[in-house]
Amino acid sequence: QQPVQSPQAVILREGEDAVINCSSSKALYSVHWYRQKHGEAPVFLMILLKGGEQKGHEKISASFNEKKQQSSLYLTASQLSYSGTYFCGTEVNNAGNMLTFGGGTRLMVKP
């Protein structure tokens, strides 16, 4: 079953913060986050593993709540380049890196 992402879309001004959530009904082994710009391929952002720590990369970070089977992606002080669609991909066991992706969250950052 597909993980549920929320919100489906968000519009920000440059410098504002955003949180994107990913929720699964299954016990997860890992959560992957990707960003896709229009007409391009998805690009990897980060992975969170069961039992692992919160990760961050510059102004983008993520957390994984194992008890709730939820992950959140945090974008702080957003930049125009952050615009795109964000997908979470969930893996339910450590076998083949098979991911089930959420429906995506469209993020638009305006000047």
Partner 1 sequence: DAGITQSPRHKVTETGTPVTLRCHQTENHRYMYWYRQDPGHGLRLIHYSYGVKDTDKGEVSDGYSVSRSKTEDFLLTLESATSSQTSVYFCAISSGTGDYEQYFGPGTRLTVT
Residues 6+ apart with CB under 8 A from 37: 43, 83, 84, 85
Footprint on this chain of partner 1 (rule: CB under 8 A): 2, 29-30, 32, 34, 40-44, 47, 49, 87, 89, 91, 94-104
**Which token pair is 73?**
């992606």
> Could you tell me the smallest distance in angstroms from the CB atom of residue 68 to partner 1?
21
Torsion sign (Cα): 76, 106, 42, 104: positive
> Could you tell me the smallest distance in angstroms from the CB atom of residue 82 to partner 1?
19
**Which token pair is 95?**
């076998």
Q: Which amino acid is at 105?
A: T
Q: Which is nearer to partner 1, 79 or 94 (CB)?
A: 94
Q: Which is nearer to partner 1, 11 or 98 (CB)?
A: 98
Q: Which is nearer to partner 1, 32 or 70 (CB)?
A: 32
> Could you tell me the smallest distance in angstroms from the CB atom of residue 71 to partner 1?
15
Residue 77: φ, ψ to 5°: 45, 60
